[in-house]
Amino acid sequence: MIESFQHLEELARDRDLADVFLEMDEQEHAVPADMIVEALRKRRAVMRDCVERGKNGGESMGKLVGHEARLLNEAFRSGRTFLDPLTVKAELYALSVMGENARMGVIVAAPTAGAGGIVPGMLLALEEERNIDPERTVRALVVAGGIGSIIALSANISGAAGGCQNEVGVASSMGAAGVAYMMGGTTHQSIHAAAIALKNTLGLVCDPVGGLVEVPCVKRNALFAVHGLTAAQLALAGVDSVIPMDEIVEAMVRIGRSLPRGLRETAEGGLATTETGTAIALRLKEEANRRRAERAAERERAAQERKTGTT
C-alpha cells in the first residue's frame, strides 16, 4: 500500500507512475491491471461523450446555469477568444461536463460530481491540442486516480467535510499530476504539479447558491482546470513546491476542520447568503413548494375521480 506521497516518490522515482499505481491496485485489491485500464478506457469515453453533449447544452435543472459552454464554444468557433486553444478548450470542456451535471446528465465523478469537469477538461483538451494517443490519456487517468486515492487516505473528499478545497482543489491537483504525466514528466514532477495545484486552493469554501451544484461550481471548474494546467507547467519547468505534498494535505484537513459549518456545503454562508444568493434560494424554495402543492392537488383530484367512479 502506498501510504504517502513521500513513499510514492521513493517507490516510483525512476518508474512509470501509472505502472506503479496499477501494480499496487493489483496487489491490494486483486484487480488485474488490464481490467483497471479497460474500466478507465470506458470512463474516458464517457467523459468525451459528455463534453460533446455539453458543448451545446441548455438550461440547468435549477435554471441558474447551463449556457456557459455553448457561449464559449460559439466565441471559440468564431475566433472571438483571446487565450490559446489549449486553455480555452480546458475551460470549455470543464464547462461542458458541469453543464451536463447540472442537467442531470451522465458524467464521471472525478473525484466528485461537483468537481467533475476539471480532470476531463484538462486531459481531453491536452490530448486534442497536442495530438496525444488516447491510451496515454487513459494512463493519465490512472495517475490522477492514484493521486486522489493517496489524498483520500487522510482527507474526506467532499465540500461538506472541508469546503471546496477538498473537491475542486483535489480535482485540480489530480489533473495537474495527470497532465505532467501525459507531457512526459517524471514522478517527482507529477507529485509537485499536484502539490502546487492543491496548495493554491487551500481555504476555498463551499457555498453553493440555493444548495445546488450550479453557482459557483460550474464556472469554478473552468477556472481550476486552467489552474491545474498552470501548476503542471511550473512543475514540468522544474519548479518544486517548497511545502511537500503530504504536508499540504495535512494543512488542507486542518483548514477544512476549522471552516465554519456555513462554508461547508450547507448553503448558509458565503455566496449563498449574498443578497442575490438569498433571493435565488427563496425563489427556488417557492417554486419547490408550488410544485409540491400542484402534485398534492393532482393526487387529490385523481383520488376524487376514483371515488366518484366507484360510487
Stretch that binds ligand SF4, among 35-43, 173-181, 214-222, 274-282 (CB under 6 A): 214-222
Q: Which of 18, 88, 102, 115 lies at the binding interface for ligand SF4 (CB under 6 A)?
A: 115
Q: Could you say whether residue 57 binds ligand SF4 (CB under 6 A)?
A: no
Residue 15 beta carbon to ligand SF4: minimum distance, rounded to whole angstroms: 33
Q: Could you say whether residue 68 binds ligand SF4 (CB under 6 A)?
A: no
Stretch that binds ligand SF4, among 8-16, 163-171, 184-192, 225-233 (CB under 6 A): 163-171
How many Å apart are CA 271 and CA 277, to the nearest integer?
6
Q: Could you say whether residue 116 binds ligand SF4 (CB under 6 A)?
A: no
Interaction residues for ligand SF4, span 232-251 (CB under 6 A): none
Site string for ligand SF4, 118-157 (x = CB under 6 A): ----------------------------------------
177 in Cβ contact with 111 (< 8 Å): no
Give the CA-trace dihedral at 72, 73, 79, 81, to 10 degrees: 30
Q: Which of 17, 167, 226, 246 lies at the binding interface for ligand SF4 (CB under 6 A)?
A: 167
* Residue 306: strand, helix, or coil: helix
51 in Cβ contact with 73 (< 8 Å): no
Q: Could you say whether residue 206 binds ligand SF4 (CB under 6 A)?
A: yes
Query: Between 68 and 167, whose beta carbon lies closer to ligand SF4?
Result: 167
How many Å apart are CA 179 and CA 241, to the nearest integer?
17
How many Å apart are CA 78 and CA 80, to the nearest integer?
6
277 in Cβ contact with 232 (< 8 Å): no
Helix, strand, coil shares, percent, the chain, to 5: 70, 0, 30
Burial of 58 (0-12, 13-18, 19+ CB in 10 A): exposed
Query: Between 64 and 164, whose beta carbon lies closer to ligand SF4?
Result: 164
Q: Could you say whether residue 226 binds ligand SF4 (CB under 6 A)?
A: no
Binding residues vs ligand SF4 (CB under 6 A): 114-115, 159, 164, 167-168, 206, 208, 213, 216-217, 220, 265
